Structure 1
Amino acid sequence: MISTEYCRLLARYNTWQNASLVTAATGLTDAERWLDRGAVFKSIAATLNHLYWADALMLERIQGNERPQDTLTHSLTSPSDWFAFKDLRAHRDAEIEHWADSMTDTDLTGIVRWDPPDGSARIEQPKSICVVQLFNHQTHHRGQIHAMLTAAGAAPDPTDIPAMPQHMLPGANR
């Protein structure tokens, strides 16, 4: 279904797009980042926080942690400090790239199992589907953030993969 090269490409795409959004959001005030803009998670900052948490949650599940919610807390308000968030986001993106760079095709096989936080029935999905979900979820929420930033007068980079800097493509010397 997918390959390690697909994962490496999308991990680098994730890093590029997050850096673009963070750079654009840095030009806003804290009040502008937290302003309710009518999105699912209301503000730019809250949506960025959700995405930060969700990346960690799904990566933990893919790596075999069946109860990541026991150690990862979903918070739309934390981190509230913009500079702390920027550092944490960069670290998470590096973690995702390292995971993608380290994987083999065998790492994309098997079943991922987890217990939902609400106590409902255990979920089992093919690992490849969970990896696709990791990247698809990122793209979904980054699109919301991009729209909110654009409406706020900020200018994030284009979102098209062909516009990604060549040095970020898999196999390129970085």
Structure 2
Amino acid sequence: MHALLAHARLMADYNQWINTRLYAAAAELPHDMLTQDRGAFFRSVLGTLNHIMVGDRVWLSRFARHPARHAALESFRRMSAPQRVDVMLHDTLPELTLARHQLDQTIIDWCTELNADALAHPLAYQSLKGVPAVRPMGSLMMHFFNHQTHHRGQVTTLLSQCGVDIGETDLLGLIPQCDEEPV
């Protein structure tokens, strides 16, 4: 399998796995602690979790316009993407958790549909400030997953400051072992 395609699928699985752990850990806190301004860029645990989803929805809306027209992204062709990075899509963790679960499955389904040709194809899009750009789809997808990881690290820190340890977060836990040592 094409290396970048295999990595995209691994990252989609990791995204779902780590979000399940992260949201379960966040659920240990009462709502007022989830929404308390902790001085983070998106202020609170809930604000940062919403930002990750906003970023995902913005990028998935862009990816939905790819000429391959992946079926898993059909709903993103019909909806408008958020226009600001600090939008609160969901005001409570249970609502956000349900939406996150659905979105994570969409990401897995989309990555299952991808092929090497789609990843190599350039994608034209506009930034939220209206600046046009054209970049390789595979590189944009790596940015998509990196953005999630970056902000989940911030949430992990915020949860730790509240006394909540989410446990193992490393991608290494999902990378399969090789059957043989190299020769």
* Same-fold call, TM cutoff 0.5: yes
Amino acid at match of 2:128: P
The SS at the match of 1:149 is: helix
Give, in whole Å, the separation in 2 of the partners of 1:128 and 1:23.
31
Q: 1:4 touches 1:103 (CA, 8 Å); kept in 2?
A: yes
**Against the structure 1 CA distance between its residues 165 and 16, is the aligned structure 2 distance closer, same or farther, given a 3 Å change threshold?**
farther
- TM-score relative to the length of structure 2: 0.81
Q: CA deviation at 1:165?
A: 9.2
- Paired position in structure 2 for 1:79: 90
Q: Higher relative contact order by CA 8 Å / sep ≥ 6: 1 or 2?
A: 1
**Identical-pair percentage:** 28
Deviations 1:126-165 (A, max 9, x none): 1111011011101100000011111111121321122349
User: Could you list the runs of 5+ residues in structure 2 that have no partner in the other structure?
Assistant: 67-76, 178-183
Larger C-alpha radius of gyration, 1 or 2? 2
Q: 1:47 touches 1:76 (CA, 8 Å); kept in 2?
A: no
Q: 1:2 touches 1:128 (CA, 8 Å); kept in 2?
A: no
- TM-score relative to the length of structure 1: 0.85
Q: 1:37 touches 1:43 (CA, 8 Å); kept in 2?
A: yes
- Paired position in structure 1 for 2:166: 156
Mapping 1:34-73, distance limit 5 Å: 34-64=35-65, 71-73=80-82
Q: Aligned residues, how many?
A: 164
**Against the structure 1 CA distance between its residues 2 and 43, is the aligned structure 2 distance closer, same or farther, given a 3 Å change threshold?**
farther
Q: 2:119 touches 2:138 (CA, 8 Å); kept in 1?
A: yes
User: Could you list the runs of 5+ residues in structure 1 that have no partner in the other structure?
Assistant: 170-174
CA RMSD of aligned residues (A): 2.3
Mapping 1:13-162, distance limit 5 Å: 13-64=14-65, 71-73=80-82, 74=84, 75-119=86-130, 121-162=131-172
